[in-house]
Amino acid sequence: MLRFLIKRMLLGTLTLFAVSLVAFGMFFMLPRDAVATMCEKNCNAERLERMRDELGLNDPLLDQYTGYVKGVFVGRDLGSAQGGWCDVPCLGYSYINNEEVSDIFARVIPVTLSIVIPAAILWLGLGIGLGMLSALKRGTVFDRLAIGFSLTGASMQLYFVGGILLIIFVYTLKILPPPRYVSLWESPLDWAAGLVLAWVALAFLFSAVYARLSRAQMLETLAEDYVRTARAKGLTKSKAYGRHALRAAITPIVTIAGLDVGGALGGTVITETTFGIQGLGRTAVEAVRLGDLSTIMATVLISAVFIVVANIVVDLLYAVIDPRVRLG
């Protein structure tokens, strides 16, 4: 297990290295002058040249890249015009917001985590549970209702579901406050009240997909010879289905769940826009709109970190769920 974990971490590091190269290359491949985009409208040639020097753009490309990577791990000096020393992890300086990019992400990442993690727990529990029960009760009224629920959820868009939830619970019944982010450590009740509609909207849409997937996987697994043999040898239904069929059926679902959660952590743009919450997704969109390239590069790198970590976690879960998997 330890050997596998080290191997996956090394591969993940190489992936992040490649992503950092691409993100850094974006800065120089854009058809417009990045510095002119970040500078005010009344910038003159002297101001533009000074900004290029402050950002280190007059240095060789290799020195610029190594300086950027070094800043992520040990910090670096951005100069007095950019606030001086930038602590670890230093992701650059945003001229648009006049602050370090790390400070921006320190504010928005907890928001995105607060949206995605509780919602993921809801959609995985509801979707997998509903799909498994539907497979065990195939052909019954419950199965038909579950299929109807999954088809309904798969046919809707988040901005529509979110809008309906806002109209009903915030503006009509007025039983919930307008969506907002409050730190969990400041007030757990306000934290939940401000984000519950986002959780419900995401859980409804994602659980519909997982219900269909888990139902199909469970039906396929129940038809396997080893499950029928276990039942024929006298193993109880709960043990045969729970200990053998469920663990085999859930393995591919874990793979998709890891990708979905990792991708959502990279930025729930539509969710944050629908509910008016400033998280990683809206920050990335605004950075693109305003041409804040330092923030764009950091967003790409952080999103890649979430994806890599999610994939490592999924691979480790394989050994727990399915003992047939050999990690090495």
The string of pLDDT tens digits covering residues 26-38 is 776 665 666 666 6
Residue in 61, 65, 40, 60 with CA at minimum distance from that of residue 50: 40
pTM: 0.85
Q: How far apart are CA 200 and CA 195, in angstroms?
A: 9
Q: How many CB atoms lie within 10 A of CB 205?
A: 23
Residue in 125, 72, 130 with CA at minimum distance from that of residue 304: 72
Q: What is the mean pLDDT of the chain?
A: 83
Q: Confirm if 322 and 247 have CB atoms less than 8 A apart.
A: yes
DSSP states along 147-209? HHHHHHHHT--HHHHHHHHIIIIIIIS--SPPP----TTT-HHHHHHHHHHHHHHHHHHHHHH
* Tens place of pLDDT per residue across the chain (328 aa): 677 778 878 888 898 888 888 888 877 666 566 666 666 666 777 777 777 777 777 778 888 888 888 888 888 877 665 667 788 888 888 877 888 888 999 999 999 999 999 999 999 999 988 988 888 888 899 989 988 888 888 888 888 999 999 999 999 999 999 999 999 999 999 999 999 999 999 999 899 889 888 888 888 888 878 777 877 877 777 777 777 777 777 878 888 888 888 888 876 888 999 999 999 989 988 888 887 888 888 888 898 888 888 888 888 887 777 666 555 5
pLDDT at position 267 = 67
Q: How far apart are CA 76 and CA 91, in angstroms?
A: 10
CA angle 257, 260, 263 (to 5 degrees): 145
